[in-house]
Amino acid sequence: STPATSTTTRQVKLDKESELRIEVGMEIPLRLRLLTGTAEIFGTELPPEIWLSFPPRHKFAVFTWYGATIEMDGITETDYTADETPMVSYVNVHAVLEGRRNHAKASSSTDPDSSQGPRVIVVGPTDSGKSTLSKMLLSWAAKQGWKPTFVDLDIGQGSITIPGCIAATPIEMPIDPVEGIPLEMPLVYFFGHTTPSLNVDLYKVLVKELSQILERQFAGNAESRAAGMVINTMGWIEGVGYEEKLCSMLKDVLKNKPNVDVVKLQKSGGVVSRNTKFRQKTRSYRIREYFYGLANDLSPHSNIANFSDLFVYKIGGGPQAPRSALPIGAEPAADPTRLVLVNINRDLLHLVLAVSFAKEPDQIISSNVAGFIYITDIDIQRKKITYLAPSAGELPSRFLIVGSLTWLET
Ligand code: ADP
């Protein structure tokens, strides 16, 4: 590693229960290390003295329960310390969940109810710190030896895989503050759009598919069943003022459900608001990261296939019933889960497609996906598609799904 220059290196002393909030500059990474005491980043403890390198634009906080000294090397967009944080209330939630996990573990695994650990769903507006809270709860649980399942239903800014997907993965270790969630074998369903409004019915169908698979996995795995899950959602709140109403609305809707608690938590003052443009940028970086790696450490492969080698499907669209079969004046509604074979043409250029695990087309909606490809050229004359894939060689399947997810490689 490069030696730290004295002009950009500085130390920050943090009092107990305070945090250092950082936005890394736009161009160069920031190096940071823990000099004394103990500190964590979103629930994951920092190793003493080891330099960590945070990529440009990364936003995070280093929090300490008992006091710490942090050393930074590099330029930040902003950095400041804050001693007012909601961390105590967050860790109290963790403690309650921990109690429920222990209870689940201790009960007979033949009783499906009592052997079920806590299932937490984090809801709230965009930029309220939902993903961050999810990560903390998962990392604290993992630190104590549990393997909770992380379910990410946020198709706008996913933490597990690229945007436009819903996904789940077990968290076996505290989440790496730089690398994020390991991309080993997540269970991923491709929605194909970054906003649910483009096909709400399909979104619901996919959530249901994912939940059925997870229920099946939990049924056969007492350990992950007891550890429970943390479910992150998208900011589904619309309109000013709805934020205040959300909690009471949920309490009202869920009042007759036993075993459901609604807990209102404060948003951290450190959560950074991101505008539409920034959000688009982050999406684009996520897709780039999928193909090239966070530190350009992956080498994706440009492949060429014949039109006839691949079957590209779109989900939704196309009339359900012929107009003649409908009552007079009624418009034919598009079937949201209809599978449509797409003609391969230049409309596919710059789109990100998912590679389905389906063996037959009619299994596409209920199948998870193996990964993604990016269409870089369509040669109509020679009937050839050029695409970027994580590796060379044949795709795991000839069935591809297309939505509206685009990417402009920069
Ligand atoms: P949401 O999931 O509700 O949209 P996030 O949890 O993704 O919100 O938070 C938005 C941004 O704010 C993220 O980049 C996150 O890393 C950052 N952030 C969250 N909490 C803090 C904090 N305490 N200090 C600094 N940055 C934070």
Q: Please report the pLDDT score of residue 240 as a whole number.
A: 46
- Tell me the pLDDT of the chain averaged across its residues: 91
Tell me: the pLDDT tens digits for 182-217? 877 799 999 999 988 889 999 999 999 999 999 999
Nearest atom, ligand 1, residue 128 CA? 3
Tell me: the pLDDT tens digits for 369-400? 999 999 999 999 999 999 999 998 899 999 99
How sure is the predictor about 237, in pLDDT bands with cuts at 50, 70 and 90?
low
> What is the distance in A from the centroid of ligand 1 to the CA of 399?
36
Which residues lie across from 352 on neighbouring strands?
374
Q: Please report the pLDDT score of residue 307 as a whole number.
A: 97
How sure is the predictor about 180, in pLDDT bands with cuts at 50, 70 and 90?
very high
Supply φ then ψ for residue 106, to 5 degrees.
Answer: -75, -20
Half-sphere exposure of 86 (CA within 13 A, CB side): 18
Tell me: the pLDDT tens digits for 54-91? 999 899 999 999 999 999 999 999 999 999 999 999 99
CA distances from 334 to 57, 316, 319, 320, 328 (A): 41, 7, 5, 6, 17
CA nearest neighbour of 160 among 64, 261, 230, 255: 230
Q: Are 147 and 49 in contact (CB under 8 A)?
A: no
Q: Are 162 and 282 in contact (CB under 8 A)?
A: no
Q: What is the 3-state secondary structure (H, E, C) of 331-384?
A: CCCECCCCEEECCCCHHHCCEEEEEECCCCHHHCCCCCEEEEEEEEEEECCCCE
Burial (CB count within 10 angstroms: exposed 0-12, middle 13-18, buried 19+), residue 1: exposed
CA distances from 57 to 171, 207, 409 (A): 25, 31, 18
The 8 Å CB, 24+ separation contacts for 344-349 are 344/307, 344/310, 344/312, 344/378, 344/383, 344/385, 345/378, 345/380, 346/378, 346/380, 348/312, 348/375, 348/378, 348/385, 348/402, 349/375, 349/376, 349/377, 349/378
Which residues lie across from 45 on neighbouring strands?
40
- What ipTM does this complex have? 0.99
Detail the DSSP E strand segments found in 3-97. 9-14, 18-24, 30-37, 40-41, 44-45, 52-54, 59-64, 68-73, 76-82
Using a pLDDT cut of 90, give the percent of the chain over it. 72
- The reply to whether ligand 1 has any atom less than 6 angstroms from the CB of 60 is yes
> What is the distance in A from the centroid of ligand 1 to the CA of 81?
15
Asked if pLDDT for residue 48 goes beyond 50, the answer is yes
- The reply to whether ligand 1 has any atom less than 6 angstroms from the CB of 127 is yes
Supply φ then ψ for residue 4, to 5 degrees.
Answer: -70, 135
Pocket test for ligand 1, best of 272, 283, 286 (most atoms within 8 A of CB): 272
Total residue length of the chain: 410
Looking up tokens 């695994």 gives 109
Tokens of residue 362, six digits? 């009619």
> pTM value?
0.92
CA nearest neighbour of 119 among 227, 266, 246, 254: 227
CA pair distance 371, 161, nearest whole angstrom: 9
Q: Please report the pLDDT score of residue 241 as a whole number.
A: 46
> What is the distance in A from the centroid of ligand 1 to the CA of 145?
25
> What is the distance in A from the centroid of ligand 1 to the CA of 157?
12
Task: Give the pairing of strands 301-306 and 229-232.
Answer: unpaired
Q: Please report the pLDDT score of residue 325 as a whole number.
A: 66
Tokens of residue 126, six digits? 């965009």
Asked if pLDDT for residue 5 goes beyond 70, the answer is no
Tokens of residue 357, six digits? 């695990």
Q: Please report the pLDDT score of residue 149 as a whole number.
A: 97
Q: Please report the pLDDT score of residue 8 as a whole number.
A: 78
- DSSP state, residue 406: B
Pocket test for ligand 1, best of 12, 44, 60 (most atoms within 8 A of CB): 60
Tell me: the pLDDT tens digits for 319-365? 455 666 666 766 666 788 899 999 999 999 999 999 999 999 999 99
CA pair distance 333, 321, nearest whole angstrom: 8
Tell me: the pLDDT tens digits for 268-317? 999 988 888 888 988 999 999 999 998 888 999 999 999 999 999 999 86
Tell me: the pLDDT tens digits for 109-160? 677 788 999 999 999 888 899 999 999 999 999 999 999 999 999 999 888 9
